[in-house]
Amino acid sequence: MTTGRQDIWVDFGLSGLTKWFAGPWAGEATPEEIVAGAADWEDGAYAATLLEDALRLLESPVPTRVTDLLWRAATGLPDGHALGSDGRTWLRDVVRICAERIRRDDPSFTPVPPEPPVDGSLREAVLAEIREAAPAVAAAVRAGGAEVVAALEQVVVEVDPDLGFRLFLRVLKAHLVPVAESRYLRYHELGERFGYHELVVDDGTLQSVPDTV
C-alpha cells in the first residue's frame, strides 16, 4: 500500500485523473497537459500514485478495450476527452510524464514494478460491492453498462482491487448512480481499510439515498 495516502485528500491515481479530464478546463488543454498538471499537483504529491496505477494496468493481462471502456465510463464523457491513442499507448505516456515529474525532485528516479496487490479479503469485498451495484450501474451508464461492470470486476481480479474500487466509485459519481445509505457506509469502511482519506470515497458527488424498507 502506498505510504501517506491519507495525506492526499482528493481521489488519486488513474481514478482521480478521470476527474481532471471531466473538469471545465479540460476542453482547453491536451491530454498530455492535463496529465502533467495532475502529476504536478501539490508539488508532485500525485505523481507516484498515478505512475503506480498506470504501471499496474500496463503490466496486467487486461486488454486495451477494457482500459478504454473504463476510462470513458469513469470520466462520464462520451469520448473520454478523445485521447487520440489506444489505452496502452496512452498509459505509457502517463508513465513517462509522471516519471519526468518525479525526476525533477529525484534525478536518479527509475520506475519499478509496483508492490503486489492487497490481500484476497479486500478483493472479495470489492467484488461483492460491484456485483450488488451492477443493476444500477448498468442502468445509469446505459451504453455498454453491463460491459463496464464486467470490466470493473476484471480490474479487481487481474490488476488490483484498490484501483478497481476507486474506478468503481468514480463511475458511480460520474453517472449519478444512487447509493443506499448502508452501502455508502460500507464504501467508507472499505476506504478506511485501503488507507484512503474519507474524501477519496466521497468528495460530495456520491449520490447517497435512504435505504428502502
Print pLDDT tens along the chain (213 aa). 333 455 677 899 999 999 888 776 666 788 899 999 999 988 888 899 999 999 999 999 999 889 888 998 999 877 655 555 677 888 999 999 999 999 999 999 999 988 888 778 999 999 999 999 999 999 999 778 999 999 999 999 999 999 999 999 999 999 999 999 999 999 999 999 999 988 999 999 999 999 875
Type of residue found at 99: A
Cα–Cα distance, 122 to 195 (Å, whole number)? 12
Residues 48, 51, 52, CA angle at the centre, nearest 5°? 85
Residues in contact with 204: Cβ distance below 8 Å, sequence separation at least 6, in sequence order: none
C-alpha angle 28/31/33, rounded to 5°? 70
SS3 state at 190 = helix
